[in-house]
A and B are shown apart, each in its own frame.
Chain A
Amino acid sequence: MNKRQITLTVNGRDHEVWVAPSDTLLDVLHDELGLADVRYGCGEGVCGTCTVLLDGEPVNGCLTLAVQAAGHQVTTLRGLMGPGEAMHPLQECFLRRGASQCGFCTPGMILTSLDLVRRSVGQGQGRPSRDEIRYALVGNLCRCTGYTKILDAVEEYADMAAES
């Protein structure tokens, strides 16, 4: 089994990495690039802790091969932040609303919610309803919060996004 060199573009920066063909995007982002906001949770694609945006769309990092991501844009939670660690407004909503307890599901929740709000508002459908947010987050499991404060945070952000 030969390793090959690929270029991964992560949060706007190019990284040259040597990967085995069977390395998942999760493995490479977490172990090779040291990104702690992409996490192993199940390896089955059901829990959402490995969520990344691939060309803007949420995908399972554990079910995507690193070689498949070469030439595409990978975005993790850290990639949403501004200079000087400035938080994205959705992150601020999560913090203010207590939507994070142990925090392990948080990156996946935020990336998936952001995608939903962007598409919903972007396609001129206005902000998603609470039920639509629930549906979008079905694949992001949380064992700590009971989901209520997460939904509250996303709704608060959705209102902000729809107004601007």
Chain B
Amino acid sequence: MTTADPQTRSAYKVVGTSPAHHDFVDKVKGSLHYAADWQLPGMLHGRIVRSPLPSARITGIDVTAARALPGVAAVLTAADVPSNQIVERASGGLAELEVTMPVLAADRVRYMGEPVAVVAAATPQIAHEAAELVVVDYEELPGVFDVTSARADGAPRVHDVGNTLVSWQIHCGDVAGALAAADVVVEGEYRSQHVEHAYLEPEAGVGWLENGVLTLRVSTQVIEHAAMIAHILGLPQSKVRVIAAYMGGGFGGKEDMTVEAYLALLVWHTRRPVRMIWDRQESLVASTKRHPFIMRYRTGADRDGTITAQQVEILGDAGAYPNLSPRVLFAAAACACGPYRVPNASITSTAVFTNNVPASAFRGFGAMQIVLGYESQLDELAARLGLSRTELRERNFLVKGDLLPTGERLDTCVEVAQTMHRALALLGEPPRPSGPGKLTGRGIGCNRHPYGRTIWFRDRASAWLSLQADGTLLIRSGVTDLGAGQAASLCQIAAEVLGAPLDDISIYIGDSALNPPAGGTFATRQLYMSGNAVLHAAQELRDRMAPVAADLLGASADDLEFADGRVRAETGEVSITLAELAAACDKRAISTAHLSTWRAEAGSFDPRTGQGDTFPDYTYGTHAADVEVDVETGQVTVLRYAACHDVGRAINPMRVQGQIQGGAMQGLGYALTEDMAIEDGYVQAALFANYLIPNAQDFPDVLVDIVESGEGKGPLGARGIGEPPIGNVAATIASAIQDAIGVRPDRLPMTPERILALLDERRQT
């Protein structure tokens, strides 16, 4: 029996419906060209030579044999990189150590898989052989492989400036006093693991020179890296162009540069087109990962369950280089108290260097890992006080107008309680165990997840619309599309405002030379930013054309309806086509093209006090699950799973459901089966067969309900939904397991072996 189609209960004509259009048509036809589906005459094949060691000095590199191999066009090392440094300053310069990451390692390698050289050859076969012929002499150095060792006195330094990259502080009220006075204090330590994005499309791209412009067509979430590429090559920014192909998944793993710098170097050096596709195994070892967290909580509450204090320490393993670590740990700090009112809070959130693979953006971005911390504490508190988990939460849920620990006042509605009731309602009656030796349990997990960029980055996005002479519509936006309908949603919004049928709209995206900049696709920001940019561009264009239409129709400009390719007066039968309107505008020298830049609210944050503006708004949600535990093997079976989020307004309900189902499934892998195990800096699970992402048989269908409160800051009241659904899962499953076996897992993933150990522990006590 198939799951129900989402109901269309919208006041709009196009927004709120679920058409399947644009890139989705090409995807089911198999005709979409991804980054690797691009060939140019004389194209070479690029391959990176990577360090097999996690911490070593490079004492020599010999590329003679590699260069001499017939068919090899280039073998490049650090000396061949004009400006061999990438500096992120990811916090916006607010606090972090300034550490440079080389494009190609010069004298030191700091993680297994760090690039040391790059080759280009006539065939992939020759490129492989050439890479194997590059001889690198290493002298092993001591390394550190966990945050605790890295912070100890005398620990080997990953970078000379020190192992602590950044430490955020948020303090409000009097935590020490509140904890001392609390009726109950719950302490807990929770740990999460390295996980891998595992998009089905590996990192890939093709680069070439065109009219002196270095052009890269790559699978990337961020075309703005063009500036960084220009800097690396010592080129003016006008001589670098980045085109983002539609991605076969991103999830944050294509937010930092992946192939770009290497392709650029090879193209620039050889003057020929170059293709690079990372091996899956290479991607598993060396691409950026999610930050493992250690989360230490002390939660104080009154006897009636009112939370009075939260003291939180977060340690994140940043790996060998900064990337976006400062921002990830900041997001964790900003959300460490969850969707609850906490009058006294003390939060420190620290990113620590190790000689592990660098960690950076991954769907959820710190605000995701921390859910396990705050939700575990809530469940523990409920158990201690003899309150139900739902009752305790309802006593503490934030409401509109409440203050967050940073001193910000919530200015949109908080419907988390409604999402909790709806998620539980989806589960229905709790199931019975399927046999002897099995225990069942039910769990919930609530979250508050930001959408939109950190406010002090003064985010903006531009979009350009043009009504063509034949009534069709063009949209140009620098947005990149990682498969969640980033481009298609913009068409739906434009269709709603201007009445152009979806089939009459063409959208051109992701080109740093040809599109107005929209910022990257991350931070669940595109619907909020580019959605608003297109909404406003379309509204402004309509407002400019309305008087012309009104004149033609003999109506008032306020009485017009734009729909189905026509403009009609709301009173009366007369209508004109959009083509006729375009022609009339042209005659009156009124432009039918319009560029609009939408700016997010600005703000500032004081890192010393931890007070100020953080994120523009949040998406609230609750998941609920029924699980069954096999007490002899520790195996956990998820019997039913439900998710409800307040999305403000569902632009395309089918796609919103898809985001929630997909995010929850990624969360289930994170909770139960995925572990990018690294030991002493060596990646253990370097085969796709050994990295266990959920398959079609592992988990039940995620049942979805949506709340549309209409108060989001995105277009038409929408809130972001890309990241939020991954956050609730681990906490929900841990909650359900605790309900089943009486002990709560505090370490991820919750493997059968670990569950069995918990059961043993329970039997002994």
B39 adjacent to chain A (CB < 8 Å): yes
Please provide the chain A residues from 76 to 102 with a CB less than 8 Å away from any CB of chain B in the complex. 76-78, 81, 85, 87, 91-92, 94-102
* Contact among B661, B689, B696 for A46, CB-based, below 8 A: B689
- The 8 A CB mask of B646-684 against A (1 = contact, 0 = none) is 000000001101100111111000000000000000000
Q: Is there an interface contact between A78 and B688, defined as CB atoms closer than 8 Å?
A: no
The yes or no answer to A42 lying at the interface (CB within 8 A) is: yes
- A49→B2 contact, CB < 8 A: no
- Stretch from B197-205, B497-505, B737-745 forming part of the interface with A: B197-205
A78 touches B29 (CB 8 A): yes
* Residues of chain B lying within 8 A (CB to CB) of residue A134: 696-697
CA distance A126 to B696 in the complex (A): 21
| A22 nearest CB neighbor, chain B only | B125
- Proximity bits, A116-152, B CB within 8 Å = 1, else 0: 0000000000000010011101111111111111111
Interface size on A, residues (CB 8 A): 62
Q: Which residues of B contact A148 (CB under 8 A)?
A: 3, 661, 701-702
Given A101-B662, A146-B662, A155-B2; A44-B688 close (CB under 8 Å): yes
Stretch from B63-71, B246-254, B423-431 contacting the other chain: B246-254
Task: Give chain A's interface secondary structure class.
Answer: loop
- Complex contact A98–B200 (CB within 8 A): no
Which residues of chain A come closer than 8 Å to B279, judged between CB atoms?
43
Would you list which residues of chain B between 673 and 723 have a CB under 8 Å from chain A?
Answer: 687-689, 693-697, 701-702
Task: Categorize the interface residue count of chain B.
Answer: 35 or more
In chain B between 475 and 525, which residues have their CB closer than 8 angstroms to a CB of chain A? 482-485
User: Smallest CB–CB gap between A30 and chain B, Å?
Assistant: 8
- Asked if A36 and B483 sit within 8 Å, CB to CB, the answer is no
Asked whether A102 and B28 contact (CB < 8 A) given A44-B280, A44-B689, the answer is no
In whole Å, how far is A88's beta carbon from the nearest beta carbon of chain B?
9
Within 8 A of A (CB), among B3-48: 3, 18, 20, 23-34, 36-37, 39
In contact, A146 and B2 (Cβ under 8 angstroms): no
Write out, one digit per residue, whether chain B residues 272-302 have a CB within 8 A of any chain A CB (1) or not (0): 0000010111000000000000000000000
Q: Which residues from 392 to 434 on chain B have a C-beta closer than 8 Å to any C-beta of chain A?
A: none
Q: Which residues of A contact B280 (CB under 8 A)?
A: 41-44, 47
Give the residue of B251, B281, B658, B688 whose beta carbon is less than 8 angstroms from that of A149: B658
Q: A56 vs B251: C-alpha distance in the bound complex, in angstroms?
A: 34
Given that A102-B200, A102-B483, A143-B693 are known contacts, is A76 also in contact with B661, CB under 8 Å in the complex?
Answer: no
- Chain A residues with Cβ below 8 Å from B39 are 31, 34
Please determine whether A94 and B654 come into contact, CB atoms closer than 8 angstroms: no
Contact of A91 among B29, B37, B694 (CB under 8 A): B29
Residue of B2, B247, B663 contacting most chain A CB atoms (<10 Å):
B2
Evaluate contact between B36 and A142: CB separation under 8 angstroms.
no
Q: How far is the CB of B93 from chain A (nearest CB, A)?
A: 34
Report 22 cross-chain contacts, Cβ distance below 8 Å, ordered by A residue.
A30-B37, A36-B34, A39-B36, A39-B201, A40-B36, A41-B200, A41-B201, A42-B688, A43-B280, A78-B30, A95-B24, A99-B28, A102-B246, A102-B482, A102-B484, A103-B27, A103-B246, A104-B199, A143-B198, A143-B251, A145-B658, A146-B694
Enumerate chain B interface residues (CB-CB to A < 8 A).
1-3, 18, 20, 23-34, 36-37, 39, 124-125, 197-202, 246-249, 251, 277, 279-281, 482-485, 654-655, 657-658, 661-666, 687-689, 693-697, 701-702
Q: Which 4 A-B pairs have the closest CB atoms?
A: A102-B483, A103-B27, A37-B30, A104-B248
Known: A36-B34, A98-B24, A134-B697. 14 other contacts (CB 8 A): A43-B281, A44-B687, A47-B200, A47-B280, A49-B201, A77-B29, A87-B29, A98-B658, A101-B485, A143-B200, A144-B249, A144-B483, A148-B702, A155-B2
